[in-house]
């Protein structure tokens, strides 16, 4: 609106696809809100190139490129994204991104100087893995906010778990966290790396450093809706003593889909009755274990329901390796294809199109937050199979909302996936029974609620955005 203060908002995501995608959506949201805002998207050359070429952005959005030298940290030259690395290199990568601080500092110095001469306010919005941006904001006396691309509950618990290491001393199955005495965490919700970490290894030290700095931010924007997790938003705001602004769901953005494959999938879906197909995906970068793939396949076969499975080589293989039949029960893929029971996606699936198709009835998901929002936005109930990170805590939110049953946990490590359980849960969620009917009804209710969060200024996420702008104007 006209009377709104003019801002220069600097958007700086971590260098990973999911984060960049979320921040692209955030930049569009801010630009659509007020085209007079100056918005600068900060990243490294490769990412800027791909965001630019996606032509998602109005030309009014500026880019600022930071020079990045991963090879100085022992990483392969030209590495600009986690997608190029092995899991064991993630911490090295996190360290390497800290080397962007001097260049970011120079940039903010120039932005702050320029803004002072134009009567504009500067606001930085950055990422939980870039806690050091808080130091830069403080140095130039500009506001700093963190944008959480996860749920509020999941993100906050994940931060707290790394800040409060170690967890090895907790002998009981359940424990709580110092900041959040009301939250009950089960040991099985923690990946081994986190559970066994004594707090002195490189990943603990660097994550704790970044996360502690994040807790000193001025406010947190979250890609969530108040209606999904009001009580958790209140809990986190109270504990951190800063405002939390839910501004979600922000969906879509960069996620590419090959158009030919998309057409083929949609045509395949068209062959099936409404709400009959199960969609299975573990996100953009995860794989599961070989034996878990076998059990899942047998469970799907026993469930007798049609499915689309975004399938990758099991853990231990390169995701880009050619897919081998031996990773599935003998003749499984061929048989399922012939019977039109199974569609196997060996690349990138058009997930949003699949979830919005009327034939899709449920989503077996690792419960990454983007997948969750996309599923709920289409009114699809979820079968939870969280792998790590904050995913197990996203499941907590979903179970409380009544739209999810958890089928397995820690699927990546040593938990068992049982074919009988897969078949039972699929039947429970998709079949003609009271619990299933209730879940499907709830998922539709939540879809309708989510459609309304932007409707007018009094609606939750529209209010969240307006309040954020008022807040950065006041500091």
**Positions that interact with ligand UDP (CB under 6 A):** 18, 255, 281, 283-286, 310, 348-349, 351-352, 368-371, 374
* Contact indicator for 15, 100 with CB cutoff of 8 Å: no
| Integer Rg of the chain from CA | 22
CB of 220 vs ligand UDP, minimal distance in Å = 18
Cβ proximity to ligand UDP, 16 vs 423, nearer residue:
16
Positive/negative CA dihedral, 269, 270, 271, 274: positive
Q: How far is the C-alpha of 306 from the C-alpha of 324, rounded, in Å?
A: 22
CB of 30 vs ligand UDP, minimal distance in Å = 20
The alpha carbon torsion through 16, 21, 25, 27 (nearest 10 deg) reads 40
Cβ proximity to ligand UDP, 120 vs 151, nearer residue:
151
**CA angle, 357 then 155 then 280, to 5°:** 30
CB of 366 vs ligand UDP, minimal distance in Å = 6
**CA angle, 416 then 417 then 422, to 5°:** 150
CB of 138 vs ligand UDP, minimal distance in Å = 30
CB of 352 vs ligand UDP, minimal distance in Å = 6
CB of 460 vs ligand UDP, minimal distance in Å = 21
Cβ proximity to ligand UDP, 103 vs 353, nearer residue:
353
Q: Give the pair of three-digit tokens for residue 319.
A: 């995701």
CB of 457 vs ligand UDP, minimal distance in Å = 28
Q: How far is the C-alpha of 6 from the C-alpha of 119, rounded, in Å?
A: 8
Cβ proximity to ligand UDP, 123 vs 387, nearer residue:
387
**CA angle, 341 then 345 then 346, to 5°:** 135
Measured from each CB, the residue nearest to ligand UDP is: 368
Residue 53 has, within 13 A of its CA and on its CB side, a CA count of 7
Cβ proximity to ligand UDP, 162 vs 279, nearer residue:
279
Cβ proximity to ligand UDP, 97 vs 351, nearer residue:
351
Q: How far is the C-alpha of 399 from the C-alpha of 185, rounded, in Å?
A: 15
Cβ proximity to ligand UDP, 68 vs 369, nearer residue:
369
Residues in CB range of 315: below 8 A, 6 or more apart: 287, 288, 289, 290, 412
* Contact indicator for 128, 160 with CB cutoff of 8 Å: no
**CA angle, 80 then 83 then 86, to 5°:** 105
Cβ proximity to ligand UDP, 212 vs 262, nearer residue:
262
CB of 453 vs ligand UDP, minimal distance in Å = 18
* Nearest alpha-carbon partner for 387 in 416, 407, 371, 367: 367
Positive/negative CA dihedral, 455, 20, 7, 210: positive
CB of 463 vs ligand UDP, minimal distance in Å = 25
Cβ proximity to ligand UDP, 73 vs 346, nearer residue:
346
Cβ proximity to ligand UDP, 254 vs 462, nearer residue:
254
CB of 43 vs ligand UDP, minimal distance in Å = 17
DSSP state of 320: T
């Amino acid at each position: 609106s006209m009377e709104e203060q003019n801002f220069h908002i600097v958007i700086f995501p971590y260098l990973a696809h999911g984060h960049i995608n979320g921040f692209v959506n955030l930049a569009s949201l801010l630009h659509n809100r007020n085209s007079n805002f100056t918005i600068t998207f900060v990243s490294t050359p490769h990412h800027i190139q791909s965001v630019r070429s996606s032509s998602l952005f109005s030309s009014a959005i500026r880019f600022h490129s930071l020079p990045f030298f991963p090879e100085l940290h022992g990483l392969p030259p030209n590495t600009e994204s986690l997608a190029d690395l092995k899991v064991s290199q993630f911490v090295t990568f996190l360290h390497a991104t800290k080397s962007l601080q001097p260049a970011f500092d120079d940039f903010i110095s120039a932005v702050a100087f320029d803004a002072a001469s134009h009567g504009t306010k500067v606001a930085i919005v950055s990422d939980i893995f870039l806690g050091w941006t808080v130091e830069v904001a403080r140095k130039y006396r500009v506001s700093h906010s963190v944008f959480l691309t996860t749920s509020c509950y999941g993100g906050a618990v994940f931060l707290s778990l790394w800040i409060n290491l170690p967890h090895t001393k907790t002998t009981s199955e359940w424990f709580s966290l110092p900041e959040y005495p009301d939250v009950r965490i089960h040991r099985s919700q923690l990946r081994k790396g986190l559970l066994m970490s004594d707090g002195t290894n490189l990943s603990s030290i660097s994550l704790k450093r970044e996360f502690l700095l994040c807790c000193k931010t001025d406010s947190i924007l979250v890609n969530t809706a108040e209606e999904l997790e009001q009580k958790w938003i209140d809990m986190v705001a109270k504990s951190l003593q800063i405002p939390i602004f839910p501004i979600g769901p922000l969906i879509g953005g960069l996620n590419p889909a090959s158009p030919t494959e998309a057409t083929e999938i949609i045509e395949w879906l068209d062959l099936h009755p409404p709400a009959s197909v199960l969609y299975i995906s573990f996100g953009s970068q995860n794989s599961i274990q070989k034996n878990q793939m076998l059990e899942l396949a047998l469970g799907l076969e026993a469930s007798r329901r049609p499915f689309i499975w975004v399938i990758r080589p099991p853990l231990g293989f390169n995701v880009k390796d050619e897919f081998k039949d031996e990773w599935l029960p003998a003749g499984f893929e061929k048989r399922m294809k012939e019977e039109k029971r199974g569609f196997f996606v060996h690349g990138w699936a058009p997930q949003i199109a699949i979830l919005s198709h009327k034939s899709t009835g449920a989503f077996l998901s690792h419960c990454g937050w983007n997948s969750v929002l996309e599923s709920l936005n289409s009114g699809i109930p979820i079968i939870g199979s969280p792998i790590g990170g904050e995913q197990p805590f996203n499941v907590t939110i979903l179970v409380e909302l009544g739209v999810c049953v958890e089928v397995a946990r820690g699927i990546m490590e040593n938990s068992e996936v049982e074919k009988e359980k897969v078949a039972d849960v699929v039947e429970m969620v998709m079949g003609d029974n009271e619990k299933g009917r209730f879940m499907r009804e709830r998922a539709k209710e939540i879809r309708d609620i989510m459609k309304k969060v932007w409707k007018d200024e009094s609606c939750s996420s529209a209010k969240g955005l307006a309040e954020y702008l008022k807040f950065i104007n006041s500091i």
